[in-house]
Amino acid sequence: MFLSLDTSTLTLSLALVERVGEEVRAIEHVVVGPPQKQSEVLPGVIGELLARHGVKLAELEGLAVGLGPGSFTGLRIGLASLKALAYAAHLKVAGASSLAAVALEGPEGPPLFCLAVARKDDLYLGAYQRRGHSVEALEPETAMSPEEVAARMAAEPEAVALGPALTDYRAVLEAAGVAPQRLLPGPAFPSAVELARLARFPEAQPLEAIFTLEPHYVRASEPERNPKFPPLPGPAPTARLKDD
């Protein structure tokens, strides 16, 4: 049994799940959306979920978390919270792509362009293909304008789009030439249940390795893009987890 969490959008998705053979079954899935703030409700929601099922934190197999791409603030809140809990209870942590979790709710067969909002007039795109309860990345996740997404879809006539960005950008993509039937309904946020299906806990994980797990930001944040504040030296942030 383990907890799974995604905070890559304004909607918090939290699930208590268990493995039954090769399958992952949701014991309870909690969704908390705006106007409630994730930073205010997250600790309490986790505690209440565990208490409802008589489970102590230290009894869990581990904690799974969505690495984005998505909201910079949301990703930091979710990952920092789970790192603290994992360290305190000596639990393993596994990260997975939030867009890959979206792809698990898409149809099998066609290329899936999973979209989330990066910033105004800028979208995250993850191209995946779903096979049952697994997905295959067709290319690295990236950020581009809605017009560029429309051009990509024109170049890949079999592809369909889905994901949180369509809540606000469906009409924009249609205006850019994407046929309405290629813009699928839902999901409005990455599901922690689907994310749990992607999570893979290592057999052993040193406690210090927990703190090397980072969100998949894809692009620089707004402060980092400000020319008044040039980037600091060193490697660009990427999602990684020490395995030594």
Q: What is the pLDDT of residues 99-116, one digit of tens each?
A: 999 999 999 999 999 999
Distances (CA, A) of 46 to 6, 50, 108: 12, 6, 33
Instruction: Strands of the chain (E only): list them.
Output: 2-6, 12-20, 23-32, 62-66, 92-96, 112-119, 122-131, 134-137, 142-144, 160-162
pTM score = 0.88
Would you give the distance in Å from CA 140 to the centre of its chain? 15
Statement: 2-98+191-225 belongs to CATH 3.30.420.40: yes
**Residue spans of alpha helices (H) in 22-134:** 38-52, 72-89, 98-103
Query: What is the spatial distance between Cα 36 and Cα 149, in angstroms, rounded to a whole number?
Result: 31
How confident is the model at residue 234, as a pLDDT?
58
Residue 229 scores a pLDDT above 60: no
The architecture (CATH level 2) of 106-182 comes to 2-Layer Sandwich (3.30)
Q: What is the mean pLDDT of residues 112-128?
A: 95
Where do the structural domains in the chain lie, given as residue ranges? Answer: 2-98+191-225, 106-182
Query: What is the spatial distance between Cα 70 and Cα 115, in angstroms, rounded to a whole number?
Result: 10
Give rounded-to-5 percent helix, strand, coil for the chain.
35, 25, 40
Residue 135 scores a pLDDT above 50: yes
- Shortest CA distance to 28 belongs to which of 41, 13, 40? 13
Query: What is the spatial distance between Cα 43 and Cα 101, in angstroms, rounded to a whole number?
Result: 23
Q: What percent of the chain has pLDDT over 70?
A: 89
Average pLDDT of the chain, as a whole number:
90
Q: What is the mean pLDDT of residues 53-79?
A: 96
* One fold for 2-98+191-225 and 106-182: yes
Residue scoring higher pLDDT (112 or 218): 112
Is the separation of the CB atoms in 127 and 97 below 8 Å? Answer: no
